[in-house]
């Protein structure tokens, strides 16, 4: 039987900020219009983390079964491939975690209506289909799109929606580019992850976007993701003076941090990309914290 430490490591704790940030930002955005329902916010956070962990578990199981995470892997050890957790146990854990996420989604849909239920079901389905099924999203180059949607538009705007909908309000227009910015920063995390794994993913038949673009183009793509995030954060601040003026601060953090990281990624090879991966996640956390602060000022 696998140890608790092994299971915790299988959740990929260093990446979980990607699930926390969009919910925190979405809740803070809603807080500019209504008083925050903290029970709903907690349920959104738990649901997002459960879906993310379920996706990580499924990824570990199916990549292990397909032999993608072979001995030449540069990234962190994967539990199934290393023989620490059996595929059956990992799949059972996936079902349990995603089942809990579905139950939370049912309660949230009582607050936010059928759109929340649809978003939840689609997110859970994509968490499984990311590496499973006849056309796994990660294997056909659609993993980046999933991350952009789930960790950006779905999580940010969904978290805001369950706050404002019960009060008879809708989503403010300037929240959309902020949600895209959060999604782009999350996509930068998967981009550098897949850049690191090009050498092993390609031969294993995992045609990620990084494999399709190639090494050099993926490094440029990583830079464009950061530039896009900064531009999205600046757009509402420049276009609508009713938007909190402090929104310029997270835009600056996203731009400066993104450019510094792009310089590192341009030169990093092999295990050094693991450091870039952690720092990319840290940049998203810093930008998210600045966004929450900007909305609360």
Domain 4-296 has CATH 2.60.40: no
- When pLDDT is cut at 50, 70 and 90, the band that residue 247 belongs to is confident
Mean pLDDT score, 121-139: 86
**Residue 240's pLDDT is what?**
65
Mean pLDDT score, 62-88: 76
Share of the chain above pLDDT 70, in %: 94
- When pLDDT is cut at 50, 70 and 90, the band that residue 64 belongs to is confident
Share of the chain above pLDDT 90, in %: 62
- When pLDDT is cut at 50, 70 and 90, the band that residue 242 belongs to is low
Ranges of beta strands (E only) in 40-190 are none
- How far apart CA 48 and CA 38 sit, in angstroms, is 15
DSSP state of 278: H
Chain centre to alpha carbon of residue 20: 9
**Residue 75's pLDDT is what?**
62
Mean pLDDT score, 20-42: 95
**Residue 297's pLDDT is what?**
63
Query: With contact defined as beta carbons under 8 Å apart, do 160 and 27 qualify?
Result: yes
Mean pLDDT score, 273-294: 93
How far from each other are the two terminal CA atoms of the chain, in whole angstroms?
A: 49
Per-residue pLDDT tens for 170-223?
999 889 999 999 999 999 999 999 999 898 888 888 899 999 999 999 999 999
- How far apart CA 119 and CA 159 sit, in angstroms, is 11
- When pLDDT is cut at 50, 70 and 90, the band that residue 125 belongs to is very high
Does 237 have pLDDT greater than 90?
Answer: no
Mean pLDDT score, 137-142: 86
Q: What is the mean pLDDT of the chain?
A: 89
How is residue 223 written in tokens?
Answer: 């830079």
**Residue 73's pLDDT is what?**
59
**Residue 111's pLDDT is what?**
87
- How far apart CA 138 and CA 268 sit, in angstroms, is 23
Query: With contact defined as beta carbons under 8 Å apart, do 50 and 41 qualify?
Result: no
Mean pLDDT score, 43-53: 94
């Amino acid at each position: 039987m696998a140890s608790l430490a092994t299971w915790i490591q299988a959740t990929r704790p260093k990446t979980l900020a990607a699930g926390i940030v969009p919910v925190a930002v979405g809740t803070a955005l809603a807080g500019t219009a209504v008083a925050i329902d903290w029970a709903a916010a907690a349920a959104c956070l738990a649901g997002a983390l459960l879906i993310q962990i379920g996706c990580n578990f499924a990824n570990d199981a199916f990549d292990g079964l397909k032999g993608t995470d072979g001995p030449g892997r540069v990234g962190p050890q994967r539990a199934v491939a290393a023989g620490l957790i059996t595929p059956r146990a990992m799949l059972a854990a996936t079902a349990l975690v995603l089942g809990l996420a579905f139950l939370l989604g049912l309660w949230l849909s009582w607050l936010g209506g059928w759109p929340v239920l649809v978003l939840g079901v689609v997110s859970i389905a994509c968490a499984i289909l990311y590496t499973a099924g006849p056309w796994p999203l990660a294997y056909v180059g659609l993993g980046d799109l999933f991350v952009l949607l789930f960790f950006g538009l779905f999580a940010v705007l969904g978290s805001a929606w369950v706050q404002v909908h019960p009060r008879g309000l809708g989503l403010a227009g300037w929240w959309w580019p902020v949600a895209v910015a959060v999604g782009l920063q999350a996509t930068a995390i998967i981009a550098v992850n897949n850049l690191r794994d090009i050498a092993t993913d390609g031969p294993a038949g995992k045609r990620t976007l990084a494999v399709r673009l190639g090494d050099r183009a993926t490094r440029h793509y990583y830079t464009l993701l950061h530039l896009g995030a900064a531009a999205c954060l600046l757009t509402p601040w420049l276009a609508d003076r009713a938007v909190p003026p402090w929104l310029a601060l997270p835009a600056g953090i996203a731009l400066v941090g993104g450019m510094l990281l792009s310089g590192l990624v341009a030169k990093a090879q092999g295990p050094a990309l693991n450091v870039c991966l952690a720092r990319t996640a840290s940049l998203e956390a810093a930008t998210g914290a600045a966004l929450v602060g900007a909305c609360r000022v």
